[in-house]
Every structure is written in structure tokens, then in C-alpha cells.
Chain A
């Protein structure tokens, strides 16, 4: 259940940004979570709902954008089907993950009277 530790890092980061920008209340967080990031979206939501209370995120919505994995050959850019052998059929190079391992805080919507 590392989702709780991820939420703790997330709220720390939001608190830091709020202090920087004079934020007083957070309305919404936009995060991007890859399907191969190792983070379970439902667990992340539960952890957020639990930990946001009495923090600057109290009452804030967590908007999660999930990202499907994609693999490609690092030299010829040929994309590989999901579940396939992760090696380029043409040049034999090991595939590179193009997307799908993101654990990213994209944007915070907050009340910041001074901005």
C-alpha cells in the first residue's frame, strides 16, 4: 500500500506550491498515472480521501488521468503491440517504454488571492 506514501508526498508538494503562491484553499489536483507505474488508481483515491482532511487539500477533488502503456523500438521507432515480446522484430533491439509509467502532479487549482 505505497499509495498512502504517494499521497503524503503529493500533499507535501501541494502545500509547498500553496506557500509559494499564497494559496489558501485547493479545489482540484490533476495527476497523471501510468497503468504500468505500479500505482493503483482506486487505492490512490482512497488514500487521498483519507489523508486530505485537515490539510490544505481538505475538500479538494483528485482528478486522475490514466495513461495506457506503449512500447517502441529505440532506433526505428516501430511500436510494439501490448503483450508482445519486448524486442524489435526488425532490428532486435530491446523496446523502450514510450509512456505508461507516469506518476506526475500536473496542475493544482487553488484559491490564491495574490496571484
Chain B
């Protein structure tokens, strides 16, 4: 019965839901995951602050993997296609998801980009998220792993300040380590901070400029590649899973 005025009509009824508010995004992410796994592609959600070096790490990765791995990427960018242009120039087949004012990618945006992606035979597919240490952390995109870039110019306490992002990371790339001799950056302090927010804390030190650590990062990626699957010969054709939606 109505609690407010006691009129008794209409009735107020409690409807139990008990579901994640982002369940629609979760379902779309699950669908993307089927796409990636069906193609035998390792999908990586690459996150980090603006300027942490996400694009530079991918450029260095492409250089080190040349001839061994076919790389693809979609880059989330508020306003430009600069990152995708840089990645294409570096040999990574890339497209841009222009998000306008949105501060993160969601599974629907990634799905749309996948259906318009120019290549379907990639070994590793990077989803370069919008530069932001808060919002991207809560949206599953269908990735196999979350990788967070943290540059040495950002300070050792970043993991403590942005615990949600680092808690969701499978790997942290400490970037721009070539700058350490010029800074008062304490690597042990960032390792300690990470250990307090990231279960099974795992960090690799890399420099896109010198190439230091990029081989270890490539090994980390290769260890996670799914077992070989039979691939379709056509680029990004549809597979035998059910689609519940329209494609445009």
C-alpha cells in the first residue's frame, strides 16, 4: 500500500532486480570476447593517463614484433585520429573510435569498430582506451587482459590514488624508464604501492625510446596468445555464433 499518503491505491510494489547496472555492457563485452576468441586473437585493453605513453609503447611493440606478429589496434580519442595515424605509420593496422566528450570506451563502441575494422587476421589486437585513469576501468570491453601504462613522470603514488584502475590491471607497464636518471623516481616505492592495490602485482619496466623492456613485454603478450585456431580466410567475416543484433 502507498506509504506516502495512505490512499492504498495504486499499490507500491517492490521489484527485486539484484543485477549489475552495467549488465547490458557486460553482455556486449561477452559478445566481443566471442569475436576475439573465435578469431584466435589476443585482445588487450590498454589504459593509462593522457601522455603515459600508450601509443609510443605500441609503436615500439610493432618495431620489435615486425615479421613475427600481426598487430591491430583501435584507439579511443576524444577528437582526433592522430593515434591511429601514428599506429598505422608504425605498421599496426588501426582505426579510431572518436568518443566526443565520452571519457571511456564501452563494449558497444568497440563492437562497432570491430565490424568496420579493415583486417580480420590479426594476432594481437590492442584497444587503446581514452587517456583516463578513472572511467575506463569499470567497462568490460571483451578483452583478454587489462594493461595499464604508468609513466615515471607521474609519481610513485599513482596506484594508491587510482586504486580501481590498478586493481583491475593484469599487468602494469612502467613507461619512459629511460628518464629515471633525470628524476627522483623510486621504483621500489611504486612497486610497494602497486602491491597494496593490485592482487598478484606484476609490473614491467619499459622504454619506448630505447626499446628497453619491450622484449619482456612481447613475451608476456605471446604467453597469453590463445592456442591456434582455424582461421577464416576472409577479413572479419561473421562466424558461427549467434548475433542478436543488426549490423550496419
Chain B contact residues, CB within 8 Å of chain A:
2-4, 9-25, 102-104, 106, 134-135, 137-139, 163-165, 167, 192, 195-201
Contacts and interface: CB of A to CB of B under 8 A. Distances in A.
A38 B168 CA distance: 11
A39 B10 contact: no
Interface in A14-63: 17, 21, 23-24, 27, 31, 36-39
A12 B138 contact: no
Interface string A65-91: 000000100000000000111110000
A103 B22 contact: yes
A31 B165 CA distance: 22
A97 B168 CA distance: 11
B15 A21 contact: yes
A97 B139 CA distance: 18
B162 to A, nearest CB: 9
A94 B12 contact: no
A27 B163 CA distance: 34
Contacts of A101: 164, 167
A55 B197 CA distance: 39
B199 A86 contact: yes
B100 to A, nearest CB: 12
